[in-house]
Amino acid sequence: MKTAEIAQRYLTYFEKQGHTIVPSASLVTDDPALLFTVAGMVPFIPYLSGDVPAPYKRAADNQKCIRTNDIEEVGKTPRHGTFFQMLGNWSFGDYFKEGAIRYAWELLTTPEADGGLGFDPKDLWVTVYEEDDEARDLWLRLTDLPDERIQRLGKDTNYWSTGLPGPAGPCSEIFFDRGPAYGIDGGPATDDDRYVEIWNLVFMQYEITDVKSKYDFTIVGELPAKNIDTGMGLERIAFLKQGVDNMYETDQVRPVLDKAVELSGRTYGADHEDDVRFRVIADHVRSSLMLLSDGVTPSNEGRGYILRRLMRRAIRAMRLLGVDGPTFADLFAASRDAMKDAYPIVGEEYDRLSAYALAEEATFLRTLAAGSEILDESVAQTKAAGGAELSGSQAFLLHDTYGFPIDLTLEIAEEAGISVDRAAFDTLMQEQRARAKADARSRKRQLADTSVYRDFRAQGETVFTGYTDLETESRILGILVDGHPAQRATAGQIAEVILAETALYAESGGQVADKGVIVGPGFELDVLDVQKPVPGLISHTVEVASGEVGVGQPATTVVDVANRRAARQAHSATHLVHAALRDTLGKGATQAGSLNRAGYMRFDFAWGQALSDATKSEIEEIAGNAVRDNLEVTTRVLPLAEAKELGAMALFGEKYGDTVRMVDIGGPWSRELCAGTHVSSSAEIGLISLVGESSVGASTRRVEALVGQNAFRELAAERAIVSQLTSSLKAPRDELPARIAELQANLKAAEKKIAQFEAKALGDRAPQLAETATRVGSQLLVAQSIGTAGSGDDLRTLAVQVRDRFGSEAAVVALAAEVNGRPVVIVATNDAARAAGAKAGVLAKAAAAALGGGGGGRDDVAQGGGADVAAIPAALQAVTAGLAAG
């Protein structure tokens, strides 16, 4: 049974049981505590918690998920995958334990010919929470499971909570017995790979507080509406129904594994380590493709870092399989073909998605080459110093700064005959992880408890009137002070105010929040921010400028008209620039993020190279022509499917319901789904002036523009500068570039002459410096500060000149100077000194330590530096002491 067929059977069954079929949410979640949708329940959290009324009593879905906390287990077990799909059925205050158990058992055990999944009841086991007698009795009554195949387990496995105050409850899990070939008898309690969990039924019936840990909390009481949250792992069902040993060999994953086998020339099933690598590649390539399809792009932080890590682990695995060159073109194409039927976007947008993957692969292959050079140098220095172990800090630097994998460091070091201080490396890694976890915990603690908005949201959605009105009369539904409900707020206090209606735009879709005021009888509130803390609810963060505001009072929201006008201009300008980019570069230049505020727009788009000046001018001209042509701007609210049929573009990071708002500028020329505020005709935008273009990732560029009055002011400022230059340089405007180029050439020539004079002056000091030599043991030493030097190269040249004056007599020269405000020491040794054991690199490192910095180099010439110029005498003394000790 194919994976897609399993999903369809599941959804068809629950649709027949009266469930609303809900499409999968994006892998990129709105939950600020999470980077990704890590579980099937994430999109339903507002309904499960009661913060937002559920739009249906019962639902079912097939939800895309990404989870990387067990990434090291990928490929080693039959079921660990970073991308996976969760089949879920949900009840929001409707059916409870009995219904959930009946539905699960019926679907699992109904024969395939009758639309079920065809599991033999004798192969199924069940676990329940040890204190949940009700669930155990229901399993016995509703199914033919014998008592011995229903096991009681504790909170660590069979009790669900988020780890935060809110809903919680016991759960019951269904397991499939793979048979004695896979492990010992004894049921799921044996915690063996023989018993595979295929379905988890969460009975969300309690509200908890005083949460000290996931298992230590206080139950306040039962929830007013009990919910059902169930999940069945699609990949787990697939590998069981397809008769393979693990999820990596199912129909949606195996094609990538087979392509890796083909590219490497190795055999799957012949070597355990190679098999793990093949499975890692298959999993990570599919996960990367799905993340790309939901708008995530490689970067060094957040979601982009996770994607980059997945890609680089796949590249590394291919390297360990003996393939050093690029492979993503083949691997990603194989994943596309396996996934496009279930997720058409990976086929429709493949050219754009694969561009990111190929660019990331090329970048990392260059990183591996550069890292290998750095590592080779570190290994050489270690061996030259007589060491047999590369420091853990050096290995960590390669990993953390250059993205160089530790296993590759170990491999190369071993080939060179030295080891790596793995214990020190692991300590540094643990410290980094601890910092990351602390940051995550801190972020989680700082999150507002959204349950405070539950009662407000239960009264209905906040009505936004700002598309047509700049003032709206309403009433105060609620006030929050320091995150807690309050009846009133007084002058000087910061508070959140919830209204039934508002004309103030809440930040979303790249457009920042409106500015304005809220006024009422005896009070005035300055609006600091406007947000949507839960879907459908708008909250205004305000400072009470005067008076006292209370719950239930009438209030009028008043938009700052000038700021709104400029924000509308910027947002509409963003649409014009997007259309101009696609006209100029092609359909591949799709949005990857935006920011619009009064007078300014920033637009990120998929593109792999810098734009030429000519291209930027063309984009600016196309957008400007659209302004000149006074194109009509229209908005329509219509079904999502109809908007897509009309060619409307969905913007990066936005979530859309069944009904959407479509913004047209000039008809289909610019047609996007957008909830922002816009001008009524393009001429209202005014001037659009591109002021910046830069890279923000391997395949993402950013353009910035000033809009309207801000653009005029910028051009006026530039005109004033040009006027000053024409006056100062006594040249017409058209001749300014040539005149400035001439001045630059003259300045460069003058600087070159000055450098030559300074170098000659330094060189003239060589005889005098040589005369300061003192004897240290069998060698002569010159250890002097020369004051200041133009560059480290000048100081190096002088040190070599002084050294060469000693001929065949053993001599060491250490010269120090202040270069650009920082201390620099150069140590030079001749052949005789080195034969006597003097090493410039060792002595320079000793000097640098005294300067509070670092240093080293070859045995003949080396350099050290630091931050403390006053420590130069101590640095020279360190050289003297080092030479005497050697």
Residue 403's pLDDT is 66
7, 113: one domain? yes
3 state DSSP class of 815? strand
Residue 664's pLDDT is 96
791, 696: one domain? no
Other Cβ atoms less than 10 A from the Cβ of 791: the count is 15
Residue 426 lies in a domain: no
Sequence ranges of the binding site: 571, 575, 674, 678
Please tell me the least confidently modeled range out of 453-462, 591-600, 700-709.
453-462
69, 184: one domain? yes
pLDDT tens-digit readout, 655-671: 667 789 999 999 999 99
Residue 517's pLDDT is 97
Over 90: is that where the pLDDT of 260 sits?
Answer: yes
Best CA proximity match to 98, nearest among 141, 61, 144: 141
Picking from 655, 687, 716, the residue at the C-terminal end of a domain is 716
DSSP 165: S
520, 603: one domain? no
Pairing type for strands 463-464 and 501-502 reads: parallel
pLDDT tens-digit readout, 793-810: 889 999 999 999 999 999
338, 459: one domain? no
Q: How far is CA 134 from CA 96, 98, 198, 304, in A?
A: 11, 9, 21, 45
Other Cβ atoms less than 10 A from the Cβ of 32: the count is 12
Q: What share of residues in the chain are helix, strand, coil (percent, to 5)? A: 45, 25, 30
d(CA 739, CA 737): 6
What tokens were used for 128? 């329940």
Q: How far is CA 261 from CA 267, 274, 321, 322, in A?
A: 6, 10, 9, 11
Which CATH number goes with the domain that contains 191? 3.30.930.10
Best CA proximity match to 504, nearest among 535, 479, 522, 529: 529
Q: How high does pLDDT run on average in the chain?
A: 90
Residue 404 lies in a domain: no
How many distinct helices (H) and strands (E) make up the chain?
26, 34
Which CATH number goes with the domain that contains 709? 3.30.980.10
Best CA proximity match to 866, nearest among 782, 876, 598: 876
What tokens were used for 470? 């700049």
Residue 102 lies in a domain: yes
Residue 258 lies in a domain: yes
- Bin 299: left if φ > 0, else alpha if -120 < ψ < 50, else beta: beta
What tokens were used for 490? 């007084």
Who's near 483: CB < 8 A, 6+ residues apart?
A: 448, 449, 452
Q: Say if residues 823 and 871 touch (Cβ distance below 8 Å).
A: yes
What tokens were used for 291? 């993340």
pLDDT tens-digit readout, 276-303: 999 999 999 999 999 999 888 888 778 8
pLDDT tens-digit readout, 752-806: 888 788 777 777 888 999 999 999 988 999 999 999 888 888 899 999 999 999 9
pLDDT tens-digit readout, 867-878: 889 999 999 999
Pairing type for strands 659-665 and 861-865 reads: unpaired
Residue 5's pLDDT is 96
Count of structural domains, the chain? 5
316, 299: one domain? yes
Mean pLDDT of all residues in 112-123: 95
3 state DSSP class of 37? coil
d(CA 331, CA 314): 10
Report CA dihedral (456, 458, 459, 463) to the nearest 10 degrees: 80
Amino acid letter at 562?
A
The enclosing H or E element of 507 equals none
CA angle 362, 402, 363 (to 5 degrees): 10
Over 70: is that where the pLDDT of 166 sits?
Answer: yes
The enclosing H or E element of 34 equals none
3 state DSSP class of 462? coil
Which CATH number goes with the domain that contains 520? 2.40.30.130
Residue 627's pLDDT is 96
Best CA proximity match to 872, nearest among 822, 811, 797: 822
Amino acid letter at 37?
T
Which structural domain, as residue segments, surrounds residue 575? 564-716
Who's near 827: CB < 8 A, 6+ residues apart?
A: 799, 812, 813, 814, 840, 841, 843, 844, 847, 861, 862, 863, 864, 879
Residue 222 lies in a domain: yes
77, 167: one domain? yes
Over 80: is that where the pLDDT of 414 sits?
Answer: no
Residue 400 lies in a domain: no
pLDDT band at 444 (very low <50, low <70, confident <90, very high): very low
86, 213: one domain? yes
635, 770: one domain? no
688, 569: one domain? yes
pLDDT tens-digit readout, 609-652: 899 999 999 999 999 999 999 999 999 999 988 998 898 887 64
Over 70: is that where the pLDDT of 446 sits?
Answer: no
Residue 745 lies in a domain: no
Picking from 333, 361, 389, the residue at the C-terminal end of a domain is 361
Residue 756 lies in a domain: no
Sequence ranges of the binding site for Zn(2+): 571, 575, 674, 678
d(CA 791, CA 807): 26
20, 119: one domain? yes
Which CATH number goes with the domain that contains 874? 3.10.310.40
Residue pointed to by tokens 């205050």: 93
Report CA dihedral (579, 342, 699, 312) to the nearest 10 degrees: 170
Pairing type for strands 811-819 and 779-788 reads: parallel
- Bin 586: left if φ > 0, else alpha if -120 < ψ < 50, else beta: left
Best CA proximity match to 383, nearest among 825, 830, 814, 841: 841
Picking from 244, 264, 294, the residue at the C-terminal end of a domain is 244
pLDDT tens-digit readout, 727-759: 999 999 899 999 999 999 999 999 888 878 877
302, 210: one domain? no
Residue pointed to by tokens 């879709």: 509
Mean pLDDT of all residues in 233-260: 94
What tokens were used for 290? 């799905």
Residue pointed to by tokens 């649409």: 575
pLDDT tens-digit readout, 498-548: 999 999 999 998 899 999 999 999 999 999 999 998 888 999 999 999 999
Residue 390's pLDDT is 87
Over 90: is that where the pLDDT of 472 sits?
Answer: yes
- Between 821 and 441, the more confident residue is 821
Q: Say if residues 303 and 36 touch (Cβ distance below 8 Å).
A: yes
**CA 21, chain centre distance (Å):** 30
Report CA dihedral (814, 820, 823, 824) to the nearest 10 degrees: -30
What tokens were used for 52? 């937002």
pLDDT tens-digit readout, 484-501: 999 999 999 999 999 999
